[in-house]
Chains A and B, each alone.
Chain A
Amino acid sequence: MPIPLYGFLQGDTIGLLILAEENDTLQTLARKLQDAASLRVAGRKQVRVVYNHKTMDTAITVAQAGLQALDRFDVIAG
């Protein structure tokens, strides 16, 4: 079951619904959001994922990070 998350990419004008898999790494999650917003925001190599006001290790998975359905995560310039 994909996990619907609210993704906010720094530089964008709207939040997007991102369907994550439990086993997606946060790096993959960031990639999904950047792809979904690519019409409005140029891609960046160095980004950070922020969840609950904390910068997360992007090597861990969505499940390990504790992200749950309808949570907010942010992808910001790293």
Chain B
Amino acid sequence: MLSRDDWLPLARKLDWDYSYVREEEVFPEVISGRPWLPHSEWKDWEESFKTSYREYVDNQYEKDMAVYAVRDAVGRIEDVQKLATPWMNSLKVHAAALPLAEFTGVIGNLRGARFGRDSAWRTMATFGALDEYRHTQIPLLLFHHLVRFDSQFDWTHKFYHTNNWFAVAARHFFDELTVGQNAIEFHIATNFVLETGFTNLQFVGLASLARESNDHMFERMVTSIQTDEARHAQIGHPVLETVMKHDPEYVQYLVDKWFWRNWRIFSILTGLSIDYLTALDQRPYSFKEFMEEWIIDQFLRTLDEFGLKKPWYWDLVIDELDIYHHMIYASAYSYRATLWFNFVIPGPAERKWLRQKYPKYWDDMDAVWEQISERWRTVGPGPENELAVHGTAMPTFCDLCQLPLSAGTPRHNTARVLAHDGRKYIFCSEPCEWIFRREPERYANHQDVVKRVLSGEAPAELPKLLTEYFRLTPETWGKDAHHGSYAWLGPRKKSAA
């Protein structure tokens, strides 16, 4: 019998010349990606893990058993019930946003597994697809089961199947990143930008938040997922290196575009979790501190290593670190019934912490929270008053990222209108408009939620929009976790009617 070292190199790297089809037909540019290069340019594609299928299965089996053991030990409903309220709602955000996003990663990897340009790349992408399937199944299993104790966990399965505004934005992102993407752009955008650039937010940042919050199930789950990410993220580097030799401007464009798109999504997912949806005494650092330590510096170093420049809008990202997710959280709080998890108002202690961590713009944010607090003081606490402390006008969304027009600062919102081909578009920020202008054919036909309301596709009246279009119910839509009952608010105002 051949030893492993004898057969594995042959099995991993098995390419051949086609006799009755052309290479361009086997790997069409539209689905394999550009630049289209003959296989001779890809033949040295290599990664360092060099795993066999048998080793892969043995390894993954061990990891899965470890996750099940943790679930049996600390993943019961009684364990979850002990979690602090803010973190419980972080959990609901991730329970919805994570599993089916991972599933789109299955599709992207399968595209690489068929249309990747070298056999070693295709082998690795096959494992990547299996990994992402695991990252779908584990959170579905762990989170959906919690629906017995809280019906908002129903959104674990439901989220991506709705037209909830955040689901529209998340789908717009993942559909482009993975589902509808060619193999080259997929691997650069997903492996290099998301998994190398942003993965620490989820796997280091969230894991340590979970640990501080005594949520050992979540901590172990993301740590287990991370061990797979570390392997399949390696696909991106040799893909990027080869494309760099032929079209460095294109690589720079992909990095610039995808860093921005990732920044938009992750500053919300992780930013809100760290700075608002974790109890104050369980916050190990601010979102900004974490970004600076784990993302910004490391990403710049990685860019340098590959001969890339930092994105042209870099100063804007640095500025947004101080404000963007704060704008989003206050806006989302005031439209919380449009979402599937509950919110808390930052009280005096939280606001003191936020001011200390974010001195640059906090005065303006503080005024917003003061005004919202004042509304609760006026109407008084109680579930029956939720909608009296809620936005009534239609919120607005960016035609690129599909997220609320909440960029810039309270003093100056950076939204910008563009007329293109007889239609009007609005973007939250300059980079979102720039991405649209680079590839209008890709984005121009997508309608944001406001355009859907105006065209009659979605109902204009808020309660109907929530129930019929966003698929929420009065039971599951987001509320103030304390229904405005905070000791620090003081007594209800006498002048209230």
Q: Which of A7-22 contact B (CB under 8 A)?
A: 8, 10-18
Q: Which of B416-444 contact A (CB under 8 A)?
A: 416-417, 424, 426
Residues on A with beta carbons closer than 8 Å to the beta carbon of B364: 11
Interface size on B (CB < 8 Å)?
36
Task: Among A12, A14, A39, A74, find the residue whose CB has the most chain B CB atoms closer than 10 A.
Answer: A14
Task: Among A10, A13, A37, find the residue whose CB has the most chain B CB atoms closer than 10 A.
Answer: A13
Known contacts A6-B426, A40-B368, A72-B417; is-contact A15 B405 (Cβ 8 Å) = yes
Whether the pair A11, B375 counts as a contact (CB closer than 8 A) is no
Residues on B with beta carbons closer than 8 Å to the beta carbon of A6: 396, 405, 415, 417, 426
Residues on A with beta carbons closer than 8 Å to the beta carbon of B415: 6, 8, 15, 72
Give Cα A72–Cα B288 distance, bound, in whole angstroms.
31
Give Cα A5–Cα B218 distance, bound, in whole angstroms.
43
Give Cα A15–Cα B426 distance, bound, in whole angstroms.
11
Q: Which of A25-78 contact B (CB under 8 A)?
A: 36-42, 69-72, 74
Whether the pair B424, A41 counts as a contact (CB closer than 8 A) is no
Whether the pair A70, B417 counts as a contact (CB closer than 8 A) is yes
Interface size class of A (residues with CB under 8 A): 20 to 34
Whether the pair B406, A39 counts as a contact (CB closer than 8 A) is no
Whether the pair A14, B371 counts as a contact (CB closer than 8 A) is no
Would you give the shortest CB distance from B480 to chain A, in whole angstroms?
12
Whether the pair A12, B410 counts as a contact (CB closer than 8 A) is yes
Give Cα A10–Cα B406 distance, bound, in whole angstroms.
12
Residues on A with beta carbons closer than 8 Å to the beta carbon of B410: 10-13
Known contacts A8-B413, A12-B410; is-contact A39 B424 (Cβ 8 Å) = no
In the complex, B454 has a CB within 8 A of chain A: yes
Whether the pair A70, B413 counts as a contact (CB closer than 8 A) is no
Instruction: Determine which of B330, B392, B450 lies in contact with A13 in the assembled complex, contact meaning CB atoms within 8 Å.
Output: B330
Interface string of B393-421 (1 = CB under 8 A from A): 11110000000111000111101110000
Task: Among A11, A39, A41, A69, find the residue whose CB has the most chain B CB atoms closer than 10 A.
Answer: A39
Would you give the shortest CB distance from A44 to chain B, in whole angstroms?
12
Give Cα A37–Cα B395 distance, bound, in whole angstroms.
10
Residues on A with beta carbons closer than 8 Å to the beta carbon of B424: 69-71
Interface string of B51-91 (1 = CB under 8 A from A): 00000000000000000000000000000000000000000
Give Cα A18–Cα B395 distance, bound, in whole angstroms.
9
Residues on B with beta carbons closer than 8 Å to the beta carbon of A39: 334, 371-372, 375, 389-391
Whether the pair B391, A11 counts as a contact (CB closer than 8 A) is no
Whether the pair B393, A18 counts as a contact (CB closer than 8 A) is yes
Whether the pair B395, A14 counts as a contact (CB closer than 8 A) is yes
Q: Which of B375-389 contact A (CB under 8 A)?
A: 375, 389
Instruction: Determine which of A14, A18, A42 lies in contact with B406 in the assembled complex, contact meaning CB atoms within 8 Å.
Output: A14
Give Cα A8–Cα B415 distance, bound, in whole angstroms.
9
Give Cα A24–Cα B388 distance, bound, in whole angstroms.
27
Give Cα A62–Cα B118 distance, bound, in whole angstroms.
61
Instruction: Determine which of B389, B404, B412, B453 lies in contact with A14 in the assembled complex, contact meaning CB atoms within 8 Å.
Output: B404
Known contacts A6-B415, A39-B389, A39-B390; is-contact A14 B327 (Cβ 8 Å) = yes
Residues on A with beta carbons closer than 8 Å to the beta carbon of B393: 16-18, 36-37
Whether the pair B367, A14 counts as a contact (CB closer than 8 A) is no
Instruction: Determine which of B326, B368, B395, B412 lies in contact with A17 in the assembled complex, contact meaning CB atoms within 8 Å.
Output: B395
Whether the pair B396, A15 counts as a contact (CB closer than 8 A) is yes
Whether the pair A11, B411 counts as a contact (CB closer than 8 A) is yes
Instruction: Determine which of A14, A37, A74 lies in contact with B405 in the assembled complex, contact meaning CB atoms within 8 Å.
Output: A14
Residues on B with beta carbons closer than 8 Å to the beta carbon of A37: 393
Would you give the shortest CB distance from A5 to chain B, in whole angstroms?
10
Would you give the shortest CB distance from A2 to chain B, in whole angstroms?
10
Give Cα A23–Cα B330 distance, bound, in whole angstroms.
33
Task: Among A36, A40, A69, find the residue whose CB has the most chain B CB atoms closer than 10 A.
Answer: A40
List the A residue with the shortest CB-CB distance to B410: A11
List the A residue with the shortest CB-CB distance to B331: A14
Would you give the shortest CB distance from B407 to chain A, in whole angstroms?
10
Would you give the shortest CB distance from A67 to chain B, in whole angstroms?
12
Residues on A with beta carbons closer than 8 Å to the beta carbon of B404: 14-15
Whether the pair B426, A41 counts as a contact (CB closer than 8 A) is no
Whether the pair B396, A71 counts as a contact (CB closer than 8 A) is no
A-B residue pairs in contact (CB < 8 Å), sample of 11: A6-B415, A12-B368, A12-B410, A13-B406, A15-B396, A16-B395, A17-B450, A39-B372, A40-B368, A42-B367, A72-B417
Which residues of B line the A interface, CB within 8 A?
326-328, 330-331, 334, 364-365, 367-368, 371-372, 375, 389-396, 404-406, 410-413, 415-417, 424, 426, 450, 453-454
Which residues of A line the B interface, CB within 8 A?
4, 6, 8, 10-18, 36-42, 69-72, 74
Q: A17-B453, A39-B391, A40-B330 are in contact. List 8 more A-B contacts (CB 8 A).
A: A4-B450, A6-B405, A14-B404, A39-B371, A40-B372, A41-B371, A71-B417, A72-B415
